[in-house]
Amino acid sequence: MSSITKKANGSYVVRVSTGKDYKGKYTSVSKVFRPSKPNLSYASLQRELNMFRENLELQVQNGDITSPNSVPKDHRRTLFEDFCKIFLEIKKTEISPATHAFYAKIIEQHLIPTYGKMHMDEFRIRHVQDFIQFIVSKRREDFHGLGQPVATSTVKRYTTVFRSILSLAYKMEYMDIDISCSRRLVFPQEQRKEVEVYNEAEVRQILSALLEEPIYIRALIEVAFFTGCRRGEIVGLKWDDIDFENHRLYVRRSIYKLHGEKAKEKPPKTKSSLRNMVIPQRLIDTLKEYKDYQNKYIAMMGNGWNALNYVFTEIDGHVMNPQTPTKQFDHFLKRHDIRHLKFHGLRHTSATMLLANGCDIKTVSSRLGHSDLETTNIYVHTIDESDKGAADTFDRIYTSFTGLC
C-alpha cells in the first residue's frame, strides 16, 4: 500500500508500507518527490509521480529499503523457537500473568521439542493437526496424574497456544498463509460434562455445619456460596469492597500466584468481572462478626501485622494464597462428612440455586461476571436435566398406576 501527500511548497511525500515490525505494528518508509519542472501538465505530473511511487514500492519489495523497525527481509526463514520468544514478549501486555506462564510452559514442554527447528514458512495445517493428535494420544497421567483420556477442552486449550503463535506470525508476515483458523482442523468429539453442584439438602447441611466452624472459615465459604465469586476474586477482596450499609459487595481485583513466586494482584478476568452485587443479611452478619474477630487479632499482633486491608489474609496480614480456600474447604467437608466437590463447586451451586428458584439468567450472569449469557447457560442445562428427571418420575408413577388397572 502507498499514499501520496502534496506539500505547500509543491513537492509530494510518497509513503509506502513495509509491513509490520517485530511488535506487530505497521511500518512504512517515505520519500519526497519534486517534479522535474515547476509547471508540468497534470498528465505529465501524474506520470512522473506514478513512476516515482512504483520505483519506491519496488525498492521496498526487493528489501533494498526497509523501515528501521521492520521485520528482516528473510524473516520467513526465522526458526519457530526464535519466533516464540517474540510471541511471548508481545503477549506480556495482552494476557494475564497466569495465562502467559501457561503459554510459556506449553511452548517449552511440547512445541519447541517438536517444531523448534522448523522455519516459519514451512508450517502447514497438517502440523497443527499432528499436534492435536499428539495431545489426544496422551493420557491424563502425562498432564494431571490421572490415567484417563485427555478432555476435549484440554486438547483445545493446548492447541490454542500453537494457533495463537501461528496467527501472530501471519499478521507479522512471517508466514504467507494463515493456518491458525482453518476449519479443516479436526478435534475429538466434545462430551458435554455435567456441572457438579450440591442439591438443596446438601446446601442446608453445609450452611448448618458452618455454624459450628470458626468465624474465618464460615466467612470464606459463605462469601463463595452467597456471591458465586471466583476463588481469586474472593481472596482479592478488601474491606473497602464491602458496603455494609447498602448490603453490597464489589469485585475490583483478583489474586494469582505463579509457581515459586508470591501472590499478586491483577484485574479481574474480563471487563464483565468488574461488578457489584447485593448480598443477603446472613452474609452481612457473618462478615461483621469476622471483622470484629480480625480487629482483635490485629490488636494482638501489633507491629507484626501488615495493614493491607484484605478481608482474607495469611497470619501476618498479607494476601491469602489463592490455593488456601481449596484446602480449607476440603478439610471442612471431611470434618462434617459432606460429599466432596471442588471449591469452585460453590460457584456452580450458587448459580444453579438462583436459577432454580426463579432468578433470571441475565441477573445470574451479571453476578457471576460472565461476559455472555452462553456461558451461564451451562447451569440452565443442569436444571433442565433435573426437571426432566422429575418428569420421568411421573411417567414411571403413571405407568405403575395404569398397570394396576
Q: Does the pLDDT of residue 329 top 90, yes or no?
A: yes
For residues 311 and 333, membership in a common domain is answered with yes
The 3 state secondary structure assigned to the chain is CEEEEECCCCCEEEEEEEEEECCCCEEEEEEEECCCCCCCCHHHHHHHHHHHHHHHHHHHHCCCCCCCCECCCCHHHCEHHHHHHHHHHHHCCCCCHHHHHHHHHHHHHHHHHHHCCCEHHHCCHHHHHHHHHHHHHCEHHHCCCCCCECCHHHHHHHHHHHHHHHHHHHHCCCCCCCCCCCCCCCCCCCCCCCCCCCCHHHHHHHHHHHCCCCHHHHHHHHHHHHHCCCHHHHHCCEHHHEECCCCEEEECCEEECCCCCCCEEECCCCHHHCEEEECCHHHHHHHHHHHHHHHHHHHHHHHHCCCCCECCECCCCCECCCCHHHHHHHHHHHHCCCCCCCCCHHHHHHHHHHHHCCCCHHHHHHHHCCCCHHHHHHHHHHHHHHHHHHHHHHHHHHHHHHHHC
Cα Rg of the chain (Å, integer): 30
pLDDT 10s digits, 144-170: 545 567 888 889 999 999 999 999 988
Percent of the chain with pLDDT over 70: 82
For residues 228 and 252, membership in a common domain is answered with yes
For residues 353 and 213, membership in a common domain is answered with yes
Domain count, the chain: 3
For residues 164 and 253, membership in a common domain is answered with no
Spatial separation of the C-alpha atoms in residues 164 and 142, rounded to whole Å: 23
In a domain, 371, yes or no: yes
For residues 51 and 81, membership in a common domain is answered with no
For residues 279 and 346, membership in a common domain is answered with yes
Spatial separation of the C-alpha atoms in residues 157 and 11, rounded to whole Å: 54
Confidence of residue 218 (pLDDT cuts 50, 70, 90): very high
Taking the model in full, what pTM does it have? 0.63
In a domain, 223, yes or no: yes
Please give the angle made by the CA atoms of 122, 109 and 233, to the nearest 5 degrees.
115
Do the Cβ atoms of 364 and 357 come closer than 8 Å?
A: no
Q: Does the pLDDT of residue 377 top 50, yes or no?
A: yes
Instruction: Look at residue 127 in the predicted model and tell me its pLDDT.
Output: 94
For residues 297 and 154, membership in a common domain is answered with no
Q: Does the pLDDT of residue 349 top 60, yes or no?
A: yes
Instruction: Look at residue 61 in the predicted model and tell me its pLDDT.
Output: 72
For residues 35 and 131, membership in a common domain is answered with no
| C-alpha torsion sign, points 107, 109, 112, 115 | negative
Do the Cβ atoms of 316 and 306 come closer than 8 Å?
A: yes
Instruction: Look at residue 100 in the predicted model and tell me its pLDDT.
Output: 92
In a domain, 176, yes or no: no
Instruction: Look at residue 170 in the predicted model and tell me its pLDDT.
Output: 87
In a domain, 403, yes or no: no
For residues 207 and 329, membership in a common domain is answered with yes
In a domain, 219, yes or no: yes
pLDDT 10s digits, 67-78: 555 555 566 688
In a domain, 275, yes or no: yes
Nearest to 168 by CA among 120, 236, 208, 105: 120
Instruction: Look at residue 371 in the predicted model and tell me its pLDDT.
Output: 72
For residues 149 and 116, membership in a common domain is answered with yes
Instruction: Look at residue 20 in the predicted model and tell me its pLDDT.
Output: 66
For residues 164 and 214, membership in a common domain is answered with no
Q: Provide mean pLDDT across the span 83-98.
A: 89
Q: Does the pLDDT of residue 95 top 50, yes or no?
A: yes
End-to-end, the C-alpha distance of the chain in Å comes to: 84
Confidence of residue 109 (pLDDT cuts 50, 70, 90): very high
Which CATH number goes with the domain that contains 83?
1.10.150
Long-range contacts: 261-266, Cβ < 8 Å, 24+? 263/235, 263/318, 263/319, 263/320, 263/321, 263/322, 264/97, 265/236, 265/319, 266/96, 266/97
Range of the domain at 17: 2-61
Spatial separation of the C-alpha atoms in residues 235 and 212, rounded to whole Å: 22
In a domain, 401, yes or no: no
Confidence of residue 405 (pLDDT cuts 50, 70, 90): very low
Spatial separation of the C-alpha atoms in residues 208 and 198, rounded to whole Å: 14
For residues 51 and 86, membership in a common domain is answered with no
Which CATH number goes with the domain that contains 328?
1.10.443.10
In a domain, 296, yes or no: yes
- Sequence-ordered list of residues with C-beta below 8 angstroms from that of 370, at least 6 positions apart, any chain: 272, 376
